Structures are given as C-alpha cells and as structure tokens.
Homo-oligomer: A and B are copies of this chain.
Amino acid sequence: MSKVLIIGAGGVGSVTTHKCAGLSDIFTDIVLASRTLSKCDAIAHEVLKRTGKKITTARLDVDNVQDTIAFIEKMRPDVVVNLALPYQDLPLMDACLATGVDYLDTANYEPPNEAKFEYKWQWAYRQKFEDKGIMALLGSGFDPGVTNVFCAWAQKHHFDEIHTLDIIDCNAGDHGQHFATNFNPEINIREITQRGRYWEHGEWVETDPLAWSMDYEFPEGIGSKKCYLMYHEELESLVMHLKGLKRARFWMTFSQQYLTHLKVLENVGMTGIEPVNYKGQEIVPLQFLKEVLPEPASLGPLTQGRTCIGCLLKGIKDGKSKTLYVYNICSHEAAFKEVGSQAISYTTGVPAMIGAMLMIQKKWHKKGVWHMEQFDPDPFMDALNIHGLPWKAVEL
C-alpha cells in the first residue's frame, strides 16, 4: 500500500501519472493535483482509458504553502513528486517538511525573474530534512537525473577515475513547425539565453551564450548534429561526486532554424520580461509571445524522430585510458503512442516515476537532501531498461 502525490499537469506530469498507473502494485493510490483541475481531469481520463487505473485529482495552488500543508495532511502520501514549475520547489519542500513527507523533483529551484540554475537554495534544506527524518531527491528527470545515474554507474563499474565528462543532449525530432519550444517557452528561452559555463581543473569557465559548438556523430543513424555548450544544473553536483574529474561540460543540439528564430525574437524584444505599454495596459512581451507560439502539448502528435541523450566519459581503468559512451535513444512517435506525449516529456516523466518507486521501495532512501549520483545506480539502471528508457554503453 502506497500513495503518491503528483504535482503538475503538464506533459511531464501526464507521463509520470501514466507510468505510475501502470504499476499499481507499487503505486496503489495516485493523486494528481495542479492549479488547473480540468488539466488533471483530462490526464485522469486518458490514464483510465490507457491503463484502467482510476486516480484522484484536485485543484491545488502550491504557491500557497498553508493550503498545500492542509492538502498533504488530508491525503497523507508517501512521497510528493514535484513536476510543477521550478519556482515552486521551495514552497513544496516547506510543505513536505511541515508534514514529514518525502520529496522528489526534476529541476532545481529558480527565483522568479532570475536565471540562476543553482542548487544552493535547496541544499540549505539538508539539515532540516535530516532532522525531520525525511528525504528529498533532487533532479530525478533525464538531464539532470538519468545523466547523473549514468555517471555513477560508469564510476562504479567502468572507471577508477573519470577525467572528462561531456553530457550531450540531442533532440533529433522534428515537429514541422517554424518555431516552437518543447516546454514552457519562458523557462526554455531563459535557459538558452543565459551565459554558457563549464568546469575545468576546479574552476568554472564562462562563455557567451551558445558561443561554443561542436559537431557530434550520434549513433544508430541519427548522424552528425551541431551541439552548443550550455550550462546545465547537473554539472554542479557531478563535479563534487566524480573521482578525479578534470573537466565537465554540457552540450545541446539546436537547429540553425531554431537559433535564428530565437535570435530574431530576442532582437525585436519579444523575449523581454519587462512589460511594455499596449493601449494603456502593461503586457510582458514574452508572455504574449507564448500565446502566439504553438502550445507545447500540441506538438505531441506532430513530432517525429528521436532524442539521444547520453554521457561521454574518459578516464582510467586498471591503469589504462578508457572512453565510454552511455546513452538512451527515445522515439517521439513511440512515446506518443504509449502515453500521449512526445519524447521530451517522456524522458523526464519516466525517471521521475522510477525515482519515486525506488524511494517507496526504500531501495533509495536516506534522510536529508540528495542528488541522484549519491545512490547505488544499479536498481535505477535496471528500471530504465524495464520501463521504457533502455540504455546502451559503448566503449569507444
């Protein structure tokens, strides 16, 4: 008997709910709550149709910590799976602390109106979670999440020391739209327009936004794609936990078309977050832009192709140098067929379910606030193969 409370009814929330519903011996009761009840109900309807599992839905504004505490007290879940916006990590951690319930998320806390991508605010909860005897698992999506587990697994089984890490995130899918963001355009555009950053010899090195790129040859027919160096949050914990690490970088593919559209929208001020006066009314350009762009959820049935996300690791094993590439390939069409969402949501929503499962099963359970690579990677790696995200490891 276990109960999971899932917060957030976007694409990822839908995937996680579907995957939990498919494991009803582990997730006996499922509650899905978000600001918009109709979105929860639509997901519940789909889940019932696809899996036969009936779930509970509720309207909940998690920015209101007192309401959330009351709701958790009433529901008494074993774990809260936070798939809302990054702004809502801290209010939800507060509510978990007050009620003594375990917490899991897929993205680091972000202060509104700043693009920081830092864990410091959530690390500040370590002692409080330990004292309360509860656990927080941070970043249980794909990247962060599975990429951290790939590193931990490589360190456990394949390396004495890992010297360089390149996380490479490729979306080789095509939705046939001129321009669209795969998730909330506001978060997406913030992430991409920030300055680049990588870690080398104990220090962070900054670059201009998307200033560095490389062509990488992806496996299984995906082929060569241009990848851009970006900062990504899992680097912050991985550089602390990988033995002997000398350099860590994160890369993401973007098409020239995507970058041109983004640049133009930046140039004309349509990505701005300062309000402009329109006929006597204050309107934030980025929020208006969101209204004319396709709804991320509408891309599900349109997207074809695959994602390929993995870790390229170089280091030493038994005195010899070694290069290992660990990766998953996920098909947009297959994901949509299975759960009604494309691979971007699928690759985040499945690991969130696996994290929650390992916490409920106490296979991953420690008091305090933890990153993915701080646990035994083996049960997670097994679960990926079973639950729709099979991986491969290739020595290069």
Contact = CB atoms under 8 A, between A and B. Distances in A.
Contacts of A272: 292
B277 A291 contact: yes
Given A268-B289, A270-B292, 6 more contacts: A178-B268, A179-B267, A261-B267, A270-B270, A278-B287, A283-B283
Given A179-B264, A260-B264, A261-B264, A269 B292 contact: yes
Interface of A: 178-179, 260-261, 264-265, 267-270, 272, 276-278, 281, 283, 285, 287-289, 291-293
A393 B234 CA distance: 68
Contacts of A292: 268-270, 272, 276, 285
Contacts of A278: 283, 287-288, 291
A268 B261 contact: yes
A205 B278 CA distance: 41
Protomer copies:
2
A153 B334 CA distance: 70
Contacts of A287: 278
A257 to B, nearest CB: 9
A260 B292 CA distance: 19
A293 B283 CA distance: 14
Task: Report which residue of A261, A268, A269 has the largest number of chain B beta carbons within 10 angstroms of its beta carbon.
Answer: A268
A270 to B, nearest CB: 6
Contacts of A267: 178-179, 261
Contacts of A285: 288, 292
A388 to B, nearest CB: 33
Nearest to A285: B292
